[in-house]
Structure 1
């Protein structure tokens, strides 16, 4: 009987230990940005302010702006050598190199068949993931050949966010989180319980729900909470085991420990 109680206790402690992730404060810095995009392993910050894209490190700040294309809707800096800027009002994507020089322009108004793009994210090689609002499909688009390498089946839910790496794309909708490989095959489908934004690091997925954060560990189907201080979370992202939280005034950095 004692052995059975001991086994039950150890099992219960193991389950409890996996119920959440903990964070340890590292530091915070002052940063004024409208939209914080990312901070890389070298401390370089990527952000948007007044429709200007900034790349800032300790030694210098460089910028890119394109007044002709109006509002800068979103930026994806997963690949710092091919940064994607999306100008939604003009249905156009600009690709920048690491010096923020323009290396490619994709005007979807001039590409047949016509695509009404609402979200984008980085793909492998010369591709970007795009969501076509008219067809309700996620496509892996090759911007050099101006063709889609793959398309998913139509998504029957409003899209909230999209993130990707070179191998997979995660599409967050009001109903589900979808995970696709670069062939467009659905790998995973997880119910969305109120999450509105996501981040990805090493194929671990992180979610924002109101003012709380959660994570979905690689090769798991269970979403668990992250214990964070009571902070206003305007933007968040994860680089390896470092969690960044931005609240419009300061960028706070935490060591993230996932059991």
Structure 2
């Protein structure tokens, strides 16, 4: 009986001391976007509306439209000098510079061997992380040479999301959340516990589940629930220790604190 009491007291103390993440509201920004992509330290916003990609700073607005390719499936502005746009229906990626001028156009229908690309994310130098759906594998593709530099082992379930920085890449599937290094070697694997999508910054992740957002620190496997006001989360973005949540017409800016 005494031993059981000690166990209960220890478990209660562990639960009481568990870290919690709070989100401190900083400001709200009105937006008009189908998909919000990124925001930098200077307030420059990257977003899409229909088949147009926008870069909006306090002084001016740039935009890019490719009528032939139609609507943009996804975009990545991790490197603002090499912005990547995926047009999934045409199996094509367009790379833009910081003034949204086209640098490269990668038509995977014309590249051998053929690649059916469903997700993309930024790599280092002139590379992209792409998910080849036909082979069910992640590839590091060099769009300057049209060659695959490295490939990861195939996965067994559908891909939900893909995030990267210059050193690592995270692949969220229906079964697992994988983390790879830039050689394509898997360094961690976590079971998908109702994960929907992810956002990465400096190796840290924010993960969306059905009941809210969770913080996953780099080199850690413990999810920390983020305490938030009641918001209908359309999209979210982690950047520079800030969390941005996009509702229908407002971008909510929060600072994350662990306590």
2:232 aligned with 1:258: no
SS in 1 for 2:89: helix
SS in 2 for 1:69: coil
- Size of the alignment, in residue pairs? 253
Q: Distance in 2 between matches of 1:84 and 1:34?
A: 17
Q: Distance in 1 between matches of 2:83 and 2:225?
A: 31
Please give the TM-score of this superposition, normalised by the length of structure 2: 0.93
| Structure 1 unaligned residues grouped into runs of 5+ | 1-7
CA deviation vs aligned residue, 1:135-178 (integer Å, no higher than 9, x gap): 00100001111111110111001100000000000000011100
Q: Is the 8 A contact 2:44 2:56 kept in 1?
A: yes
Partner of 2:188: 188
Q: Is the 8 A contact 1:214 1:223 kept in 2?
A: yes
Query: What's the CA shift for 1:10?
Result: 10
Please give the TM-score of this superposition, normalised by the length of structure 1: 0.93
Query: What's the CA shift for 1:42?
Result: 1.2
Q: Distance in 2 between matches of 1:16 and 1:131?
A: 42
SS in 1 for 2:68: helix
Q: Is the 8 A contact 2:36 2:235 kept in 1?
A: yes
What aligned pairs does 1:206-217 form with structure 2 within 5 A after superposition?
206-210=206-210, 212-217=212-217
Name which of structure 1's ranges 54-63 and 178-187 shifts more when overlaid on structure 2. 54-63
- Runs of 4+ more than 2 Å apart: 8-20
SS in 2 for 1:89: helix
Partner of 1:113: 113
Partner of 2:226: 226
Q: Distance in 1 between matches of 2:250 and 2:154?
A: 40
Q: Distance in 2 between matches of 1:204 and 1:17?
A: 22
Q: Distance in 2 between matches of 1:211 and 1:142?
A: 39
2:82 aligned with 1:82: yes
2:70 aligned with 1:38: no
